Structure 1
Amino acid sequence: MPRVISIKAALAAAGIVGAMLATPAAAEFPEKGMTLIVAYGAGGGTDTTARMLASDLEETIGQPVTVQNVTGGGGGNGWGAIAAAEPDGYTIGYINIPNMYSGYLNPDMGREESLESFTPLMNHVTDYCVWAVKPDSPFQSVNDVVEAAKEGRVTITAHGAGGDDDLAIQRIAKMNDLDMAVVHNQSTADSKSQVLGGHVQVLGANVSEVADQHASGELRVIGVMAPERSGFLPDVPTFQEQGIDQVWSVSRGIAGPTGRPPEIAEAIMTALEATITSDAHRQAAEQLSLAPEIVKGPEYMDFLKSTEQEIKGLMGW
């Protein structure tokens, strides 16, 4: 049976005053299906994570949750679609941090959205960055890539200027005075094809996107940008273990457009938290090499603002 959570139950669980329950339309939320916007193409880490969440959220609210891929603009088109949606609670989407910031912080991008364009709901997962190569690549370590880049240009994939992969590459390049040619793609699936086909030397991605292929031997991960070894890649040393002070990740969180009624936002957060903390969801996440990490409310907004400032400093925007 679906774990249906009405807004009335959500508000009661959240301790919201009874006066808010007076709106008949709100009390029955959701009365129809919801849309979950993803700013990247099918097959990548964000899309896979979103489809897992949508499936389990359907069980919680008793309504269909449809994933909609809105690609292009380095993710900006998708985030713009979230910001422009009706603030009625029926459209939510993933905001990828730090990727989202470049769209409006970078003056060359010219996007109008900012943090104030969204109602941040909660963080879902934190997925650390990795570098991976073909099994027969001469690169055996992160330092091999760094040394090769010092002698000549090394090609590496990423998802749009200002995305987590790109920012990680730029930070390492600046630290080591490297020349790296970044090849931007719409999805990790495209990036993997380029690396496996020998067209690009190094894959910039995230743990969840490569763990299975590393285990099968299709790809070889040479470093993880995490503070400690990943439980999903226990045989792969961190960048710090290899002498490169780099901890970098993408945070996939959920947000809606600004202006939605607070009681609707509370109901959605309650449903999301019930979904994400369920045993079924955590087991499904583990199968995808993901570890849910809930951060919500003011703490989530503080995280978003502090990360925004960090990216400003790194990029000089």
Structure 2
Amino acid sequence: MKKFSLLLLVLSFVVFLGACGNTTVENSNGSSDKKASEEFPTKPITVIVSFGAGGGTDIGARILLPYVEKELGVPITVVNKDGGGGWVGWTDLLNQKKDGYTIGYINTPNLMTGYLNPELKRNNSLEDFDVIANHVLDYGAIAVRADDDRFETIEDLIEYAKGQELTTTSTGVASDDHVAALKVNKAHGTQFVAVHGSGAVYGKAGVLGGHIDVYFANVGEVTVPEKNGELRVLAVMAPERSDFLPHVPTLEEKGFGEIYSWSARGIAAAKGVDQAKLDIIIAAFEKALNDPEHIEKMENMGLEVKPMYRDEYRNFLTEDEAGVKEVLDLLGW
């Protein structure tokens, strides 16, 4: 009987030790996860830019990210993965490990049109992304090669395009520049035909090389080339003139109606990154985006900084998506 009682006592003690051990492991794991978030980041971060080097998105990213590096204390590497109207890069972003060490630029409307296009059969949506911050809001612009003597004004271009086809640049099917050209066609009977490429830099090369007639792009992509004497900007597709191109009229003021176009460029991660890590990244971008030196450098390139974060940025994207859905008929969708 004494032996049996002693055995029970020993077994009870073993069970007690086991329970304590399990509790220690659980607490240890919880503390470890918390510590990992508190120490983040501890290694370089990759930023995917889904358009070619030298385009508006790439230029803006390379201006901003050194200021983000300063806040995070780790190197940031830009990786250009162009193609598919941006979806080569965004697909890669979504397939990366959700650890906060790979984030990327997202561009509207290309992001939305890429999953709204029924032919592509992508099972994606805004819900696949955790938004970090918007960086740029870049209105559309229409330009031609500076020595193209066919078009001195936007009126010359519209009238000419009513009588015969003119090729235009595009960063992909249903990109902002493609949709802008379709809007002008519908409103004024012009015959603009898009030549789809993988980024604005390729479109500009096509125009300057005489292979494409008209450069449908964004203000940030035409400002410097115009100053350099490469391009003549004929109009901007915005509610009012751009501060970067104050001499260039809007389509609206020239009597061509409220035809607006823009590209918003922001930063996001694939959904699933730990919220504590996201908070650290968002805080770093917020400080960097509001750095006066960064803003000045962006303005020198004709790029308008338009910071938005968290719910404000998410709501903006949702509204942008609704706007895309309103023009699906132009794309035959």
- Aligned equivalents of 1:20 and 1:205: distance in 2? 50
Q: Which segment drifts farther, 25-34 or 188-197?
A: 188-197
Among 135, 160, 176, the residue aligned to 2:188: 176
TM-fit CA distance, 1:313: 1.6
- Aligned equivalents of 1:162 and 1:210: distance in 2? 20
User: Does the residue aligned with 1:95 lie in a helix, a strand or coil?
Assistant: strand
Q: Deviations over 1:84-130 (max 9, x none)?
A: 22221111111101111111101112223211110011211101111
TM-fit CA distance, 1:22: 7.3
Among 88, 92, 99, the residue aligned to 1:88: 99
TM-fit CA distance, 1:287: 2.1
Contact map agreement 1:40 1:46 (CA 8 A) in 2: yes
1:283 aligns with 2:296: yes
- Aligned equivalents of 1:23 and 1:74: distance in 2? 38
Contact map agreement 1:20 1:263 (CA 8 A) in 2: no
Instruction: Give aligned pairs, total.
Output: 299
Partner of 2:89: 78
Segments of structure 1 that go 5 or more residues without pairing to the other structure are 1-18
Partner of 2:21: none
Any runs of at least 4 consecutive aligned residues in structure 1 with deviations exceeding 4 A, and if so which?
19-22
Partner of 1:12: none
- Aligned equivalents of 2:159 and 2:328: distance in 1? 24
Partner of 1:258: 271
Partner of 2:133: 122
Partner of 2:151: 139
- Aligned equivalents of 1:208 and 1:21: distance in 2? 45
User: Does the residue aligned with 1:23 lie in a helix, a strand or coil?
Assistant: helix
- Aligned equivalents of 2:294 and 2:118: distance in 1? 39
Task: Output the TM-score relative to the length of structure 1.
Answer: 0.90
Q: Identity over the aligned pairs, expressed in percent?
A: 41
TM-fit CA distance, 1:216: 2.2
Partner of 1:48: 59
For 2:262, give the aligned amino acid.
Answer: S
Partner of 2:308: 295
- Aligned equivalents of 2:165 and 2:75: distance in 1? 48
For 1:296, give the aligned amino acid.
Answer: Y
Structure 1 vs Structure 2 CA RMSD: 1.7
Among 33, 37, 45, the residue aligned to 1:26: 37
1:189 aligns with 2:189: no
Contact map agreement 2:82 2:199 (CA 8 A) in 1: no
1:238 aligns with 2:250: yes
- Aligned equivalents of 1:125 and 1:260: distance in 2? 24
Contact map agreement 1:33 1:65 (CA 8 A) in 2: yes
Segments of structure 2 that go 5 or more residues without pairing to the other structure are 1-29
Partner of 2:325: 312
Contact map agreement 1:38 1:69 (CA 8 A) in 2: yes
